[in-house]
Structure 1
Amino acid sequence: MYRTAASRLRALKGRTCRRVPARFSSSIAAATTSSSSGGLLNWFTGGQSKSIPPLDFPLPGVALPSSLPDFVEPGKTKITTFPNGLKIASETSVNPAASIGLYVDCEPIYEPPASFGVSHLLERMAFKSTTNRSHLRTVREVEAIGGNVQAAVSREQIGYTFDALKTYVPEMAELLVDCVRNPAFLDWEVNEQLQKMKEEIAEAAKNPHGLLLKAINSAGFSGALANPLLAPRVCTKCFG
């Protein structure tokens, strides 16, 4: 039995060697020579090799970047106030990325009981169609510069942010201002976001942790600070 297996193995090796194309013979020979000279083994063990340069050897024609200093002083925040009351807080950073945020005093603490959840709807309507560009165009412009936009509502303000490289700061500022100041509030977009709001409220009703935090906030604060962040289910019917 062993002799039969050995003979079959030799026959298989013979057929395999005959099927190897001639164009691979040179590479196989080179690999065999490299392995026999100890180049690959020396590379794994950290020794010197004639064919592979050491890892600490600088590559020719490659400019090394300057090393970072041990201490980088944090940027100073500069606050500029315009005659119309608009305040701009700017900070210089060595980071190649830039972040622009626009914060508006439009939050639940300013909502009367009849309009609870308006800020929730405004958050979902952020960066939709404006009087100057469609929602698709907004998405395409953000994608073209590799940016990221986001809107978030807190109990005291709503913030619109735009993150991208510093090169595109003018485009970022123009798009951000247009989306905040010139929303179109198209009927089909509003209805679509209202439906998503209802689904979000239904999911939040199944979250005990979120319900507990909401109850703690209502018990700890009175007046406007006790207003909910999410729109109540009854108010969504009024919006529709």
Structure 2
Amino acid sequence: KLPNGLVVTSLENYSPVARIAIVVKGGARYEDSSNFGVTHALRNAAGLTTENSTTFGITKNLEHLGANLTASTTRDHLVYVLECNRDDAAKALKYATDIVFFPAFKPWEVSDAAGRVKLDLAKFRQKQEAVLLEALHQAAFRGGLANSLFLQDFLVGKHSHKKLAEYVKNHVTAPRAVIS
């Protein structure tokens, strides 16, 4: 555990590929009525401009390193997984930590990301099992655990850059995160 509260773990497996996960206790259960669906918007905003790099810079540098970064959410966590050559892990991790902890949320980028959210919703709705699971989960739980992993249609494009930044400021902090 680092002085700032961030927990870092590692396991040597002698693989040529490094797989690093940044898991933050900030999933859908922590949303409230003022920001329902914000974690879905955050998931789709992964890779946008950060305080230290542009979207183009992040994309080209991760591509140059042969790295792959994915973002997913659960009701409990925001999960970012970085896969890359183990020799380039430190370089690639710099971009991943910037994406997670230091997003800039430029207004025009956030509004452009709404198209990805719509596509994500369309793919979700085509999977009847996933739709059923979401409905069952909502019926089975109350409070934050009943929150959906997906935005409602009427909320697409409604989460401003300020709302995303506020959620990250309050929930995506070192004491709530693990890098493994």
- The one-letter amino acid of 1:200's match is D
Normalising by structure 2, what TM-score?
0.81
Q: Which has the larger radius of gyration?
A: 1
Per-residue deviation at 1:172? 1.8
Structure with higher RCO (Cα < 8 A, 6+ apart): 2
Correspondence for 1:70: none
Q: What secondary structure, in the 3-state scheme, does the structure 2 residue paired with 1:239 have?
A: coil
Matched residues in 2 for 1:232 and 1:187: separation?
21
Q: What secondary structure, in the 3-state scheme, does the structure 2 residue paired with 1:103 have?
A: strand
2:129 is equivalent to residue 209 of structure 1: yes
2:72 is equivalent to residue 148 of structure 1: no
- The one-letter amino acid of 2:40's match is H
Per-residue deviation at 1:180? 1.6
Per-residue deviation at 1:98? 0.9
Matched residues in 1 for 2:145 and 2:135: separation?
12
The C-alpha deviation readout for 1:162-198, integer Å capped at 9, x for no partner, is 1111111220221111122221212221111113213
The C-alpha deviation readout for 1:93-134, integer Å capped at 9, x for no partner, is 111111111111111100012311100011111111112211
2:143 is equivalent to residue 223 of structure 1: yes
- Please list every run of 5 or more consecutive structure 2 residues that lacks an aligned counterpart in the other structure: 161-180
Select the residue among 99, 102, 106 that pairs with 2:26: 106
Matched residues in 2 for 1:102 and 1:203: separation?
25
Equivalent pair of 2:111/2:157 in contact (CA under 8 Å): no
Equivalent pair of 2:65/2:92 in contact (CA under 8 Å): no
Equivalent pair of 1:100/1:172 in contact (CA under 8 Å): no
- The one-letter amino acid of 1:162's match is L
Normalising by structure 1, what TM-score?
0.62
The C-alpha deviation readout for 1:141-163, integer Å capped at 9, x for no partner, is 11111111111111110011211
Identity, in percent, stands at: 28
- Cα distance, 1:172–1:222 mapped onto 2, change above 3 Å: same
**Aligned CA-pair RMSD:** 1.7
- Cα distance, 1:139–1:238 mapped onto 2, change above 3 Å: closer
Which 4+ stretches in 1 moved above 3 angstroms?
A: 202-207
Matched residues in 2 for 1:203 and 1:97: separation?
30
- The one-letter amino acid of 1:143's match is E
